[in-house]
Copies of this chain bind each other. A is one copy, B any other.
Amino acid sequence: MASDTLDATFAALADPTRRAILARLAQGEATVMELAAPFAMSQPGVSKHLRVLERAGLISRGRDAQRRPCRLEATRLKTAMDWLADYRSYWEESYQRLDDLLGELEAGTSGAGEREVR
């Protein structure tokens, strides 16, 4: 609900590397090295992405000796999805709206000033 939370969440999701990291974590915990492996990127580069994800609350980190295993935290994803869900009717209605429009055109109702489709 907090605007800052949505800001940070959507911003974190707006990067393909970070989305790939989340996809990897969906399969289970992973260390920084494991997460970095698939990417042509330095380890500090990956660490910076992880910091972004952590500050957005999308991952959390444990401690296992020198390792800092990362784990997916899905509740912020739910928050983002809840925001998007408010718009669901707008894409679900699109077929209906198209039908309405086509109906009007056939009936010759078009041209009456400007007709808001939605």
- Which residues in A have some Cβ–Cβ distance to B below 8 Å? 3, 6-11, 13-16, 19, 22, 26, 28-29, 60, 62-64, 71-75, 77-78, 80-81, 83-88, 90-91, 94, 114, 116-118
CB neighbours of A3 from chain B (8 A): 16, 19
CB neighbours of A77 from chain B (8 A): 84, 87, 90-91
The answer to whether A13 and B16 touch across the interface, beta carbons within 8 angstroms, is no
CB neighbours of A72 from chain B (8 A): 87, 90, 118
In the complex, besides A6-B13, A81-B81, 14 extra interface pairs with C-beta distance below 8 angstroms are: A3-B19, A10-B10, A10-B14, A19-B83, A60-B118, A62-B114, A63-B114, A71-B117, A72-B87, A75-B91, A77-B87, A77-B91, A81-B85, A84-B84
CB neighbours of A6 from chain B (8 A): 13-14, 16, 19
Kindly report how many copies of this chain are found in the complex they form together. Answer: 2
| A7 CB to nearest B CB, Å | 6
- Please name the 5 residue pairs, one residue from A and one from B, whose CB atoms are nearest each other, closest first: A74-B90, A10-B14, A74-B91, A11-B14, A10-B13
